[in-house]
Amino acid sequence: MVAAMITMGVGAVPSYEASAAAPADTAAVTARLDEAEAIMATDAHQAYGLILDAIHAAPDSPRAHLALASYYMEERDYNAAYGETTKALRSDAQSDRAYYLRFRIALARGNKADAIANLTEAIRCNPNDGTYYVRRGYLYYDANNFTASLADLDRALVLNPQDSLALNHRANTLWALGNQTKAFADSLKASELTPDSPYPHFRRGQFYAELKEYTKAIDEFTLSLAKGGGDDNVASAYYNRGNAYAKRGSLDEAIADYD
């Protein structure tokens, strides 16, 4: 496996859906939380005030405490965020979103085993949300548990066959399991679904490099670079393309990419 990997992220927090056991919010509380979530990215301070207003009006509202947990996540105050998920779970023990936030907290702390455990709880609460299987499948892949990874990603794609992130991750897992034909098929389908994404091209570049088809690898890394993906991803693509140039014997091009 090539060391420099492009980053695909963990994705956004799923929208809040109360379980049947959760206390219902009043219309006023719902309006405050709707507004807070709408402006969180652009005016976190005002969103924070609206969330506190909602909690003051409805101290047992799971949604309000999860909104506050999300705010603390953005502030990187993981202890406070975890505390708010605990309050949410007291009112709604079946809150898959609370466990998903705990997964993100565990990941931010570098505790991958805890991250997997919280995704497992999220799946127990809501087994029909493919997001959780995709994230857990990726973590299993990262832990070299490819069989478990494939099972989760297969399930995610049953729930949503158009999930390009699941296809990208399953391509990686299939490759690790030695199924190159299906890995390429998943990667190509991901490109069809998200034609502007650099990730499938990057991964196919790595596939071709491992097959020692360096010209094809260079072509894929070049397409990945043309589609961006952030500074870290661009740097990884240059690094991997430089390796492919070097292996092909094109040393001037390799040096230019390393620079």
Residues 181-200 have a mean pLDDT of 96
Q: Would you place residue 24 in the very low, low, confident or very high pLDDT band (cuts 50, 70, 90)?
A: confident
- Are 224 and 6 within 8 A, CB to CB? yes
Quick one: pLDDT at residue 229? 77
Cα separation of 55 and 83, whole Å? 14
Quick one: pLDDT at residue 21? 59
- Are 191 and 200 within 8 A, CB to CB? yes
Quick one: pLDDT at residue 10? 47
The percent of residues in the chain predicted with pLDDT above 90, rounded, is: 87
Quick one: pLDDT at residue 54? 94
**Class of the CATH-defined domain 196-259:** mainly alpha
Q: Which residues contact 148 (CB under 8 A, 6 or more apart)?
A: 137, 140
- Are 126 and 103 within 8 A, CB to CB? no
SS3 content of the chain, % helix, strand, coil (to 5): 70, 0, 30
- What are the C-alpha distances in Å from 70 to residues 49, 73, 89, 204? 14, 5, 15, 35
DSSP-assigned letters across all residues of 78-111: HHHHHHHHHHHHHH-TT-HHHHHHHHHHHHHTT-
- Model confidence at 7: pLDDT above 80: no
Q: The whole model's pTM is what?
A: 0.86
Residues 103-126 have a mean pLDDT of 97
CATH architecture of 24-118: Alpha Horseshoe (1.25)
Quick one: pLDDT at residue 4? 40
Tokens standing for 54?
A: 């909602």
Cα separation of 120 and 94, whole Å? 12
Residue 6, H or E segment? none
| pLDDT, tens digit (0-9, with 9 covering 90-100), for 143-190 | 999 999 999 999 999 999 999 999 999 999 999 999 999 999 999 999
- Are 158 and 185 within 8 A, CB to CB? no
Quick one: pLDDT at residue 231? 83
Domain ranges of the chain: 24-118, 128-181, 196-259
Quick one: pLDDT at residue 17? 63
- Are 99 and 118 within 8 A, CB to CB? yes
Rounded mean pLDDT of the chain? 92
Cα separation of 250 and 164, whole Å? 33
Quick one: pLDDT at residue 1? 37
Quick one: pLDDT at residue 213? 97
| pLDDT, tens digit (0-9, with 9 covering 90-100), for 49-82 | 999 999 999 999 999 999 999 999 999 999 999 9
- Are 110 and 28 within 8 A, CB to CB? no
Q: Would you place residue 218 in the very low, low, confident or very high pLDDT band (cuts 50, 70, 90)?
A: very high
Query: Which comes out higher in pLDDT, residue 2 or 57?
Result: 57
Cα separation of 105 and 16, whole Å? 17
Query: Which comes out higher in pLDDT, residue 23 or 8?
Result: 23
Beta-carbon count within 10 A of 115 CB: 23
Q: Which of 32, 29, 14, 38 is nearest to 59 (CA)?
A: 29
Quick one: pLDDT at residue 16? 57
Q: Which residues contact 173 (CB under 8 A, 6 or more apart)?
A: 137, 141, 146, 149, 150, 153
